[in-house]
Amino acid sequence: MDYRTLNIKDIKKIIFDQQFTKFPYLNNFKKNPYTYLKARYYMYPSVFLVYVLLKSRITPNMVTICYCLCGIIGGIFLSIPYFQFNIIGVFIFFSKGILDWTDGQLARIKYKPTLTGHILDVYGAILNSIGLTIGLGFFVFHQTNYQFLIYLIAVIAFLHSEVFTSAGKKIILEDLKVILSNNKKIPDGANKNVNNKNSTNNIQIKYPKWLNIFKDFFDDRARSVDFILLLIIIDIYFDYNLTFYIYLIISLRIFTRFIASFFFGVRSRWAELYVEELKINNKFKND
């Protein structure tokens, strides 16, 4: 496919066909009315952006970096105690998904998807989540003038940035060659402890069901984020302080997630099992 011959209608067809094939529910208004409308809010601008960017030297990773920066910029705007800036922050967080939908399509049409691009996408989602949490905290602080929120914002920012398991995966990846070369022997009983499907993705920490439900409460999904943004607008114009209670709930969720990552992460020995399965998958044999 020669991207230079594509017009805007061709790009629209490519993007819509690809998204509806991958996510059929996006085309079902009756079952998913909000998702149906929000997807189109992302898709139509992404069609235009892809059309423009195909004629430029801007790469998909550049677009993804802009998506990453949305979390920082949006958080700053929410933190400024002027409603005009807060509205801009709300708009940034509500619309950032347009860039997230654009980079992948641009990669598929003109370039090709890369591992670096995928990592940037995941990293961007984390930055956006942290940015919204911190920005929301300062917005609530300026709305309520509760001084204790300053300390809560600082604590939650630390707890939200990293947990035991994600830090552990980073360390395993950085030291992978050393870990595998220093201990090539597969520990006794490793085959019994790991999943037979031969995928390191199968090493999961078993959290209680009630904790899994709580972890999904006001999480990073678009519906949750958009609901929070709606409450921000309501608080701006009606001064209800609804976001104060939402921020307390979000803070409790983040704190619980942080503590649970220690309690269940250490007890489950997921790191050892993860490495054992890596050895088995890579067919390391006894010396």
Tens digits of per-residue pLDDT, 192-241? 554 544 444 445 556 566 566 656 666 778 888 999 999 999 999 998 99
Q: Report yes or no: 114 and 58 within 8 Å, Cβ to Cβ.
A: no
Q: Report yes or no: 10 and 54 within 8 Å, Cβ to Cβ.
A: no
Domain coordinates in residue numbering, the chain:
3-160
Residue with tokens 């409460």: 217
Structure tokens at 86: 């807060």
Contacts from 11-19 at CB under 8 Å and sequence distance 24+?
11/47, 11/50, 11/51, 11/54, 11/105, 11/109, 12/47, 14/105, 14/109, 15/43, 15/46, 15/47, 15/50, 15/101, 15/105, 16/43, 18/105, 18/108, 19/43, 19/101
Q: Report yes or no: 15 and 46 within 8 Å, Cβ to Cβ.
A: yes
**251, 252, 258, 262 alpha-carbon torsion, rounded to 10°:** 160
Tens digits of per-residue pLDDT, 44-88? 999 999 999 998 999 999 999 999 999 999 999 999 999 999 999
Tens digits of per-residue pLDDT, 109-155? 888 888 888 888 988 998 999 999 999 999 999 999 999 999 999 99
Report which of 19, 101, 5, 14 is spatially closest to residue 60, judged by C-alpha positions: 101
What dotted CATH number matches 3-160?
1.20.120.1760
Q: What is the pTM of this model?
A: 0.83
Residue with tokens 């235009």: 48
149: buried, middle or exposed (CB in 10 Å: 19+, 13-18, 0-12)? buried
Residue with tokens 């677009």: 63
